[in-house]
Amino acid sequence: MAHETAISIDRAERVDHQLVRGIGVPALTANIVSSTIGAGIFVIPATVARGLGSAAPLAFVCCAVTMVLFVTCFAIAGSRVSLTGGLYAYVDFSPVH
């Protein structure tokens, strides 16, 4: 099983070098902003405000801090894995010694 995994990682690394990384930082930033707005940036705060009342701004700040920590974890994981595949690559990656 470990030998098959090592072969899979080697094959993935070879294919990874052939991939064109056509999306840059500005395009990726625009995509994230677009996704955030499209995901209900206008609906979710209204729903929360209705349920929490005057505590809604505090809840919004707490969620923002939590999301910064969450995204930082993904950034650290992404910087340690050179394979493509997002979450699957982070979970499946096992260094070959």
**Of 72 and 48, more confident:** 72
Rg (alpha carbons) of the chain, rounded to whole number: 19
Specify the pLDDT at position 14: 67
Specify the pLDDT at position 84: 73
C-alpha to C-alpha distance for 92 and 59, rounded to whole angstroms: 35
What are the Cα distances from residue 9, in Å, to 27, 31, 83? 28, 29, 8
Q: Is the pTM of this model over 0.85?
A: no
pLDDT digits (tens, 9 = 90+) for 13-25: 666 666 666 777 8
Confidence tier at 29 by pLDDT (50, 70, 90): confident
pLDDT digits (tens, 9 = 90+) for 57-74: 898 899 899 999 988 988
